[in-house]
Amino acid sequence: MWKKIAIGSMALWIITISYAGYKFKYGNAEKVDNRVAITLSVAEKDVVLGEMRLLLEGLQGIISGLSNSDFKKVEVSARGNGMVMAQDVNPALMLKLPVEFKSVGMGVHKAFDDLAENIDGKDVKIILREIDSIMDSCVGCHLTYKLEIER
């Protein structure tokens, strides 16, 4: 009798872990047009889009700082787009996002931190190349994913 209960419990545990792993890797994503649709609530979509808008504002601050040779502004703007921005994300929202989407996002935040750390003494062209690389990630993500609202 106890063996049946143990085997049943083990089977339920394996199913639960498998489902959680699947959700962690794929989130709420499905293929739409040529992009992967990520289905979110209205509030969750607003959070993701709000973060993207903040990234654009920080990028504008970096470009403004570079155009005025204000490297302190460049550093502050880059640091504001760094990992500090990704600290308070709701775990339920993170489960809905595909792992590749999360990986690109964390890579972008890390790249902004790296830019802020190494800003002193860099040539403007090198900084612009780093920004170009960051923007490649942004453009690639927008070409790959589409945010949709749950019905």
CATH of the domain at 114: 1.20.120
In a domain, 21, yes or no: no
**pLDDT at position 88, please?**
75
**pLDDT at position 27, please?**
64
Domain count across the chain: 1
pLDDT tens digits for the chain (151 residues)? 777 777 777 767 777 777 666 666 666 656 557 889 999 999 999 999 999 999 999 999 999 999 999 999 999 999 999 999 887 778 888 889 999 999 999 999 999 999 999 888 889 999 999 999 999 999 999 999 999 998 8
**pLDDT at position 28, please?**
60
In a domain, 87, yes or no: yes
Per-residue CA distances from 42 to 49, 70, 147 (Å): 11, 38, 10
Tell me the whole-structure pTM to 2 decimals: 0.75
Q: Which of 60, 29, 50 is nearest to 148 (CA)?
A: 29
Q: Which domain holds residue 74?
A: 28-149
In a domain, 6, yes or no: no
Burial class (CB in 10 A: 0-12, 13-18, 19+), 102: middle
Residues with Cβ within 8 Å of residue 89, at least 6 apart in sequence: 47
**pLDDT at position 22, please?**
67
In angstroms, the CA 142 to CA 52 distance is 11
